[in-house]
Structure 1
Amino acid sequence: MDNFQALMLALIQGLTEFLPISSSAHLILPSQVLGWPDQGLAFDVAVHLGTLLAVVVYYRRDVWAMTRGAGQGLVERRVNPDLRLGLLVVLATIPAVAAGFLLKDLIENELRSAAVIATTTVVFGVALWLADVWGARRRGVDQLGVGSALLIGLAQAVALIPGTSRSGITITAALALGFRREDAARFSFLLSIPVILGAGLLKTKDLLESRVPVDWAHMALGVVVSAVTAYLTILFFLRLLDRIGMLPFMLYRLLLGAVLFLWFV
């Protein structure tokens, strides 16, 4: 992998991690169409770290509030609103963690085909738009309950199927449950923090065990480019969300799915 390929892959990861368009559907294109080599474990760790930094920095007030709320809750022995939100994030993370451990082999061996990615890209793109159109869009994150958090968490577990889009399916679930667009995106992005952290730690463990040479220059490039790109993506996505809705993302996913079907299936 040369510098240009590293730059483009980091850009793709940063752009697609938080937009509801599926990063896996995009990452299949450079390798399959252009014949680029696999980016490798070290670069995977780098771009995961970059996207994690982006979402933590953007939602630093929420992260700090949940951390402070946890401390206060322990001292005062009561559940305050910030601690409650943190607990709901943890609860919604559990289904994806459980599904990842139980279904890892099935996902890696059976569900990474171009046909699966193309299908999920289209199907969940339509589901995103329908949830946006039919959702009540009246609830805020402060109205999030245990049942809603668990349902969004179960939706996140479905995102283990390549092409689904983690942000896409969690925003879809939140919209279908009546949450406002910005609140649906906010909870989805907060939910990404433990997921990206966990995935990064697992990849780091695999990297240490593999003992492969590490290209530190490419890793640094991956961290910086994916972090800056992901931060700007979150910023502009949230600013435009109420104006444009989910229709442009649905149309883009239909186009991308059609390209994947025509090219690979």
Structure 2
Amino acid sequence: MSWLQVIVLSVVQGLTEFLPVSSSGHLAIVSRVLFADDAGASFTAVSQLGTELAVLVYFAKDIWRILLAWFNGLLVKAHRDNIDYRMGWYVIIGSIPICVLGLLFKDAIRSGVRNLWIVAVAMIVFSGVIAAAEYAGKRTRQIEQLTWRDGLIVGFAQCLALVPGVSRSGATISAGLFLNLDRELAARFGFLLGIPAVLASGLFSLPDAFAPVTEGMSASGLQLLVSVVITFLVGFAAITWLLRFVSSHSMYWFVGYRLVLGVVVLALLGTGVVAAT
């Protein structure tokens, strides 16, 4: 990879990771449109370590409180009614589906589903899901009303993000809205739920980012380090903005953007301007 590719793709990753527009889809699109090649799923996974570090820093107090409550609840039965103790279990339960499916379908994730036809169609089709969730969600349930069932449902929804073009935050926020969670709560819960999966994926993919086996460009250790730093800085700004935005704005803004981008990519593919793979 060239340094220009590293910088551009890292900025794209940082900007889009937390928005319901699919960071992996954007990286696949930008890679082929600007550089006529695919950065690859491994580079994508490693660059996400920076954005997840942004989540860890942004939610540091919440994460520390949840960890303390979870361990305390394991030792003292009387403390198990604490919402933070339960939240710890919800994150664990919700992380299981994507960890299992991610391992089972890792080869397809790294190759077949990164076809731009799939990305563009996923962009358009899942826009309808986000719009339906925004329309149907009553947004009446608060954090005290979360259950293990919510964690499992949102966890399975997170698995949809294994397909570039769907969006991890889009899937988890939509699931939360369908469950009538408050929009900001749905976003926060989705971010917390993504921490174990993304960290595991990034560390697991680290060796392949240096020397891809099946697809993608290789990157040096210094390039990967710079990528993580860029995605952290840009991602921290993006998550701060998004949580403020969703507290007072609907998801329809992102639906419109996804539809336009999906149609543009289909047009580029149909006219042969951009290659699908």
TM more than 0.5: yes
Tell me the CA shift for residue 204 of structure 1. Answer: 2.3
Question: 2:261 is matched by which residue type in structure 1?
Answer: L
1:237: which partner in 2? 242
1:22: which partner in 2? 22
Give, in whole Å, the separation in 2 of the partners of 1:54 and 1:90.
20
Distance 1:57 1:158, change over 3 A: same
- TM-score if structure 1 supplies the norm length? 0.91
Tell me the CA shift for residue 44 of structure 1. Answer: 4.3
Q: 1:135 aligns with which of 134, 137, 140?
A: 137
Cα deviation 1:123-164 (Å, max 9, x = unaligned): 111211221122100112221111121111111112212211
Give, in whole Å, the separation in 2 of the partners of 1:64 and 1:243.
28
2:231: which partner in 1? 226
Moved more, 8-17 or 40-49: 40-49
Unaligned runs of 5+ in 1: none
- TM-score if structure 2 supplies the norm length? 0.87
Unaligned runs of 5+ in 2: 271-277
Cα deviation 1:13-63 (Å, max 9, x = unaligned): 111111000112211223222235544688546522211110001111111
SS in 2 for 1:34: helix
Tell me the CA shift for residue 107 of structure 1. Answer: 4.0
Give, in whole Å, the separation in 2 of the partners of 1:133 and 1:200.
34
Superposition RMSD in Å: 2.4
User: Quick one: percent identity of the two aligned structures?
Assistant: 38
2:155: which partner in 1? 153
Tell me the CA shift for residue 205 of structure 1. Answer: 4.6
Give, in whole Å, the separation in 1 of the partners of 2:140 and 2:262.
31
Give, in whole Å, the separation in 2 of the partners of 1:101 and 1:213.
22
Distance 1:40 1:179, change over 3 A: closer
- Number of aligned residues: 265
Distance 1:100 1:217, change over 3 A: closer
Q: Does the aligned pair in 1 maintain the 2:20–2:167 contact within 8 Å?
A: yes
Distance 1:74 1:99, change over 3 A: same
Distance 1:42 1:151, change over 3 A: closer
Tell me the CA shift for residue 207 of structure 1. Answer: 5.2
Give, in whole Å, the separation in 1 of the partners of 2:220 and 2:210.
14
1:104: which partner in 2? 106
